[in-house]
Amino acid sequence: MKTKKTILLIGAFIAIIVLSLESFKPANKTPRPAEGIKSYVEFLKTQHSTAEDYIVSLFDKNDVVILCERLHPEFTQYDLILNVCRNPKFIKNVGNVFIEVCTRSQEKNIYQLLHDSETNKLKTEQQILSVCKNSSVHPLWANYNFPYLLNGLYGINKKLDVDKKINLYPSDLPLDWFTMDSTRYSKLEKSFDQRDKIMADYIISKFDSIRSSKGTRKKTLIIMNYRHAFGNNFSYPNNVKPNNVGRFLFDKYNGKISNVLISTYAMTSARSDNDVSMTVIQDGKWDASFKILNIENKGFDFHNSPFGNDYFDIWPFTKHNYKYSDVFNGFVFYKPLDKNKLVEGIPDIIDSSFCKELSRRYQLIKKVTGRDMHVSESIIWSWNKTEEKNPLYTDSIKSKIDNWIK
């Protein structure tokens, strides 16, 4: 009996000691914004639209909404795009999407894919691979988000009535790699300087035909990358308006068009399409503001916001005095930078025949232009599976963001 009481007393004594020690533990420190981001944090507390809802809401007053894509290979942004496309209001009132990343020569094939009433998985996969093999002015567009978009839209459409299906219109220069020779490629090469004007003219012509049709959905989402999405307020030196798709569309649909920037990195320099240096927008202030509130999905107008009043620092190539609100109407934050993914590769796209075809394309470019774009067979075969590439989120990037959080 005494032994039992002794054990109970010892247990109670230990419990008292543990509780006493717990009381001396430092309390979890609540992160606080540095002085430089307090106005951003307070503004975000007043905003209640998700990125998807914000984009869809812009169609209440606009016929055209341009979405500025992140770096082409970034994958998670296409989850946002697909969420917009499956939104009931978008399906009912919009239903049309134009994209930069695919040649318009694939329009018929994409229409057949997205409007096919069959549900044969193997056939669908083959249709998508067929489009991807001939989709780009590059020998191969190996970014996984493009076939992911096609497959996602197919999945949305097969649940919809014929008159409610999403229409996808590729807008890049017309071409067919399988019939490409030196003469055709030389002609294609000469058109690159006018690529934005050619794309814009096509979008305007196609969209105007949609607007004049008997259909009820006469609005469109347009997905363009980087400067192609800049609005008409942004000019190069000497007030010369740039040849950006966005500028041409703003000139055409003035008063009925908005453009939206997706949260991204800021480019500091670009030596080529595949050799760029990146940092964070506004030295990390923006990302820190979202991080401190644990926000991963938000959309709002740049006008009358501290974000919109900031210097437009994602364009380092010319001197200017523009603010973000001068170039874009709105902003959506979708997934913090540490959750962005650069994904390349398309499962099962490479076989021995297509490997030879890609080598021919690269040799053709060298013959016409003198540019040696040689890609080894090992690299070509590596495109046969998806792989996350070179994450841009580094300790240095994280440090810049965290410097604004106390």
* pLDDT tens digits for range 195-244: 999 999 999 999 999 999 988 999 999 999 999 999 977 777 777 888 99
pLDDT over 80 at 172, yes or no: yes
- Residue 267: per-residue pLDDT: 86
Distance CA 143, CA 271 (A): 20
Lowest mean pLDDT among 20-29, 110-119, 240-249: 20-29
- Residue 16: per-residue pLDDT: 46
Compute, in degrees rounded to 10, the torsion defined by CA atoms 57, 61, 66, 68.
-50
Distance CA 342, CA 71 (A): 8
Distance CA 328, CA 160 (A): 33
* pLDDT tens digits for range 364-383: 999 999 988 878 999 999 99
Distance CA 388, CA 111 (A): 30
pLDDT over 50 at 18, yes or no: no
Helix axes 38-45, 285-292, angle to 10 degrees: 50
- Residue 30: per-residue pLDDT: 77
Distance CA 210, CA 212 (A): 5
Distance CA 373, CA 364 (A): 10
- Residue 320: per-residue pLDDT: 87
Distance CA 190, CA 162 (A): 40
Collapsing DSSP states into helix, strand and coil, what is residue 348?
coil
- Residue 270: per-residue pLDDT: 61
- Residue 233: per-residue pLDDT: 76
Model confidence at 17, pLDDT cuts 50, 70, 90, reads very low
- Residue 89: per-residue pLDDT: 98
Share of the chain above pLDDT 70, in %: 91
- Residue 275: per-residue pLDDT: 62
pLDDT over 50 at 23, yes or no: no
* pLDDT tens digits for range 81-114: 999 999 999 999 999 999 999 999 999 999 999 9
For residue 227 the two structure tokens come to 């400067």
pLDDT over 90 at 184, yes or no: yes
- Residue 318: per-residue pLDDT: 82
Distance CA 66, CA 84 (A): 13
Model confidence at 25, pLDDT cuts 50, 70, 90, reads very low
- Residue 234: per-residue pLDDT: 74
- Residue 21: per-residue pLDDT: 45
Distance CA 317, CA 200 (A): 23
Return mean pLDDT, the chain. 91
What are the C-alpha distances in Å from 69 to residues 66, 230, 262, 334?
Answer: 9, 11, 6, 12
pLDDT over 60 at 68, yes or no: yes
* φ, ψ at 258 (rounded to 5°): -135, 155
pLDDT over 80 at 19, yes or no: no
pTM score of the predicted model:
0.91
Fold of the domain built from segment(s) 35-349+384-402: Rossmann fold (3.40.50)
Distance CA 94, CA 82 (A): 14
Rg of the chain in Å (alpha carbons): 26
- Residue 274: per-residue pLDDT: 56
Q: Which residue has the higher pLDDT, 286 or 216?
A: 286
pLDDT over 60 at 299, yes or no: yes
- Residue 118: per-residue pLDDT: 75
Q: Which amino acid is at 203?
A: I
Bridge partners for 356 per DSSP: none
Nearest Cα to Cα of residue 76 among 16, 141, 143, 19: 143
For residue 83 the two structure tokens come to 């969420």
Give the start-end residues of each E strand in 189-292.
220-225, 257-262, 265-272, 275-280
Distance CA 71, CA 77 (A): 10
pLDDT over 80 at 29, yes or no: no
Tell me the domain boundaries of the chain.
35-349+384-402
Angle at 368 between CA 366 and CA 372, to 5 degrees: 15
* Tally: H helices and E strands in the chain: 16, 11
- Residue 391: per-residue pLDDT: 83
* pLDDT tens digits for range 35-56: 999 999 999 999 999 999 999 9
